[in-house]
Structure 1
Amino acid sequence: MTSEKLDRRKKYTRMVLKDSLMQLLKEKPLSSITIKEICEMADINRSTFYAHYPDQYALLTQIEDELIEDLKHYLNTANLHEEDEAIDMTVSLLDYFSSKHEECLTLLNEGADSTFQQKVTNVAESFMIKNWMDIYDFDQDTSKYISTFIISGGIQVIKMWMAKGMVQSPKEMARLINDLINKGVEGVR
């Protein structure tokens, strides 16, 4: 068999395994999901699963890490020094969350055995401290408190937006989030 066919097969197998795990995560926590269930849903045998992943936790980690790499890409292309650029970057992030709606909502679910929210928080925090907090010249502890407050609130707003069916446009939500961050509750009135 050619290398190209093997690569396509490998990609396909990993895709169906990821899709199967994501479907099962909508129904129950990872700790209750077996390899057998994943394989049955993916219509592959267990040995094929084990050729790609040691367990369901490694599969979930790969799914999370791929989403996190995408988030890093979005964040690294943004410049938060200007409000319009911050809004554009937030719109891009919301567009990304919208395009990966099911995966992100499933992984951000309170009942999930996922570390995805913590990974998102860590990426956003390091990005924020590196690119935003230095503008205001806060000490490290103050920067950490502020970034934790902003990021936690932002993640909760995004989760609520996705759970409610993303009725508002990404632009509307970006403006709301940025107004809350930059102007507080008074700026949203």
Structure 2
Amino acid sequence: MAGNEDRRAVRTKGNLKKALLALLKEKDLLDITITEVAQLAGCNRVTFYSHYKDLQALLSAIVDDYLEGLVDNFRRSFKNQKSIAANDVDRQLPIFEFIYENQFIFSLILKGVVLPGSQNQFCESLVKVSGTELELKEKSVVEIPVLNYFSTYGSLGFFLYWAMGDFKEPPEVMAKKLAYLQGKMFVEAKVRT
């Protein structure tokens, strides 16, 4: 019986997330009510409050889900490899494809307007992975954490540029451009085992 309740809770949370995203496509967060979200999700306000404190908490949970997916795609880009070249387009591509497939939510995250701090969350999720699972092969006069933050937050500007242009360029083109830029900063990184 507890398993059914857990599945029901997961399904309800998923429905609430989908409902909020659907409403955000129509209007600003400040113009959306909890009642609207709950009704669209097929539940009531009490059910909403049993899962989330407010709409910000729900939006934060949505962002967390998508950033987790982003990290999974980042890891996929170097899975089963011993080292990766900075200018390897295939390494960049999974991230760009994931963002492209989820343009709406990543537009909100990258622009940082709806959920303050989401840009930092975006960067910190990538910094954490690259800082713990990758290391430079060559020596650097710049400390590795500094280079990691510079590269990641610089990439934020790159992704933001893409979002501001409504993702018009395909993921392959953007991955090639970022690979070129990163290839100018370092040559190769090795994957920690």
Q: For the structure 1 residues 34 and 53, does the alpha-carbon distance in structure 2 shift closer, same or farther, using more than 3 Å as the test?
A: same
TM-score, with length taken from structure 2: 0.75
Q: What does residue 103 of structure 1 align with?
A: 105
Q: Identify unmatched segments of 5+ residues in structure 2.
A: 186-193
Letter in 1 for 2:164: A
CA contact (8 A) 2:60 2:115 kept: no
Alignment of 1:1-189 (within 5 A): 4=4, 9-25=8-24, 27-29=27-29, 34-79=33-78, 81-83=83-85, 86-138=88-140, 142-183=143-184
CA pair 48-174 structure 1, distance change in 2 beyond 3 A = same
- The code of the aligned residue for 1:147 comes to N
SS class of match (1:38):
helix
SS at match of 2:172: helix
RMSD in angstroms over aligned alpha carbons? 3.1
Deviation at 1:100, TM superposition (A): 1.2
| In structure 2, C-alpha distance between the alignment counterparts of 1:77 and 1:175, rounded to whole Å | 17
Give the % identical residues.
24
What is the deviation of 1:106? 1.8
Contact 1:125 1:147 in 2 (8 A): yes
Which secondary structure state, in structure 2, belongs to the residue aligned with residue 111 of structure 1? coil
Q: How many angstroms does 1:96 deviate by?
A: 0.6
Whether the 8 Å CA contact 2:77–2:93 is kept in 1: the answer is no
Distance, in Å, in 2 between the alignment partners of 1:148 and 1:128 is 10
**How many residues are matched?**
181
**In proportion to residue count, which structure has more strand?**
2
TM-score with structure 1 length normalisation? 0.76
User: Which blocks of at least 5 consecutive residues in structure 1 are unaligned?
Assistant: 185-189
Change over 3 Å in CA distance of 1:147–1:3 after alignment to 2: closer
Q: Per-residue displacement from partner, 1:58-91 (whole Å, max 9, x unpaired)?
A: 3223212211221222222333833388421210
In 2, Cα distance between equivalents of 1:50 and 1:103:
23
Residue 49 of structure 1 aligns with an amino acid whose one-letter code is F
